[in-house]
Chains A and B, each alone.
Chain A
Amino acid sequence: MQSLGFAYAIEPVLKKLYPDRTEYEDRLRLHMEYFNTQPYLASFILGAVVRLEQDRATGGHAASDVQGLKDSLMAPLGALGDSFFWGSLKPVTAIVAAALLLTGSWWAPILYLVLYNIWHLGIRTGSFFRGYRTGGDAVDLLARYRFTSRARAFKVVSLIVLGGMIGAMPVWRTEFRPAAHAQALSIAGMAFTLVIIASLQGGNSPIKLMLGLAALCLALAYAGVI
């Protein structure tokens, strides 16, 4: 499906570069071949392909160069982008927002959108021009954005803030705060979380856990504990 989006994005460029309809349609058809990568980093490949198409139209590259470049970049950038954007940037910004929301900050969702999109739109736009300028030099892209080290740092921040979020249970907004002594509440919250983490060794799905938790709550209510 991404091939359709890629072809749609590059279509105006091809129209401009190839006035001959047959050649234009041949090039467009080429870009409808299989394409799958991380959607944000696709802009880097798009920038590089625009550059190569431009070079080709003025008599530079052979036809195989463009498809070869797409083939060689889409898998590594897909893995890198998934790990950075879905596996670290999205969690860190969402965890920060959730932690602030639980302390009663109604504006946390807005902060989430701002924090996430400064990175997202910045990298998406920047990598398009970088792709165009370098003609698809992935090493240059990695050096500029330091995805791996940033992802590592984001994971550390995520874990610390999550720990802090649990520690802050006594000051969570009232809808989320069980009635208990402050100190006991923090420790009970952390103990409960660690028990669930340990139970996840077996790979339980969120659905099973949500159902299990509901059953536990019902049992506690029947027992008169809550």
Chain B
Amino acid sequence: MPLFDMHMVLTIVGIALLGGIIGLDRTAVAQIMISQPIVAAPLIGLTLGDATTGLIVGAALELIWLLDMPVGAFVPADSTVAAVFATAIAILGSPGSERLSLTGFSILLTVLLAPVTMRADTVIRNFNSRLGQRILTPSGEPLGTILSRAHRAGLWVFFVKFFVLYLVLIPVGMIAVRLFTHAPETYHRAMIFYVKVLPLLGAALVVRKLSMKTVDRFLLAGFVMVAVLVQFVHAPALMIMLLIITGASLGARYRERQA
């Protein structure tokens, strides 16, 4: 079966458009967090008819990139592009086949995107800075009109950046995924295990940034409480997590009041 027929090309263009709109939320419009991997990936998955793959990609990438913040002049890797890209290529590159190993491989491929997205972000930021300076050059036109036009141009530039990135990267990623389907079984087993331990890597990255200590007492307290509950109280997983979230919130509030 050919990988790129007309239907597939239109699907890729559609995902690039949707990805472009989602990407605007990252810095240019509203910032209500639909661009975060935990939301963006399931959205793309749902659009392509496989929300589960989106949820897997979203959970893994959200934790990994959660605290990679744009502080000062540092431009972080674009986790939105990574989430949309990984979800799209995992689903589109493997119609009908077992997806968990391909999802792992797709997530792994996102590490190659980081330098590309960081470079693209730097170029766009420089362009937008020049846009601001250009407004101040006298041209005879009403300043309000020039300002509105520059503002819209800034938004378009952001959208186009995402759209073009997806349009170029998704087909390349799909080919890589299709090639990976023919890889030996060992590689598939490795990628399945990779998906399963990625949340632990994400958790470690977050803990490192939130706490100075390697063995943080709050981390251990949460771990012991839940491990005991899971072991001895056979309550549903959701109930245990809700219990620990509520307990942690009340505990933190009490601690602050005491302080």
Contacts and interface: CB of A to CB of B under 8 A. Distances in A.
* A associates with B: yes
Given A4-B150, A109-B38, A186-B223, A153 B214 contact: no
Interface stretch (A50-58, A83-91, A132-140): A83-91
Nearest to B71: A82
Contacts of B189: 221, 226
A106 to B, nearest CB: 6
B contact face: mostly helix, strand, loop, or mixed: helix
B208 interface: yes
Interface in A75-109: 82, 86-87, 90-91, 94-106, 108-109
Contacts of A4: 128, 131-132, 135, 147, 150-151, 154
B248 A157 contact: yes
B216 A87 contact: no
Contact of A222 (B31, B56, B186, B242): B186
A214 B190 contact: yes
A112 B226 contact: no
Nearest to A171: B237
Contacts of B231: 182-183, 186
Nearest to B63: A98
Contacts, number: 304
A171 B196 contact: no
B211 interface: yes
Interface string B128-166: 110110011000001110011011001000000000000
A contact face: mostly helix, strand, loop, or mixed: helix
Nearest to A40: B31
Interface magnitude class on chain A: 35 or more
Interface stretch (B7-15, B173-181, B198-206): B198-206
Interface of A: 1, 3-5, 7-8, 11, 15, 21, 24-25, 28-29, 32, 39-40, 82, 86-87, 90-91, 94-106, 108-109, 112-113, 116-117, 120-121, 149-150, 152-168, 170-172, 175-178, 182-183, 186-187, 189-190, 192-194, 196-198, 200-201, 206-207, 209-211, 213-214, 217-218, 220-222, 226
Interface of B: 31-34, 36, 38-39, 42, 51-52, 55-56, 58-59, 62-69, 71, 77, 100, 107-108, 110-111, 114, 125, 128-129, 131-132, 135-136, 142-144, 147-148, 150-151, 154, 186-187, 189-191, 193-208, 210-211, 214-216, 218-227, 229-231, 237-238, 240-242, 244-245, 247-249, 251-253, 255-256, 259
Sorted nearest first, the 3 A-B pairs with minimum C-beta distance are A163-B222, A167-B226, A196-B204
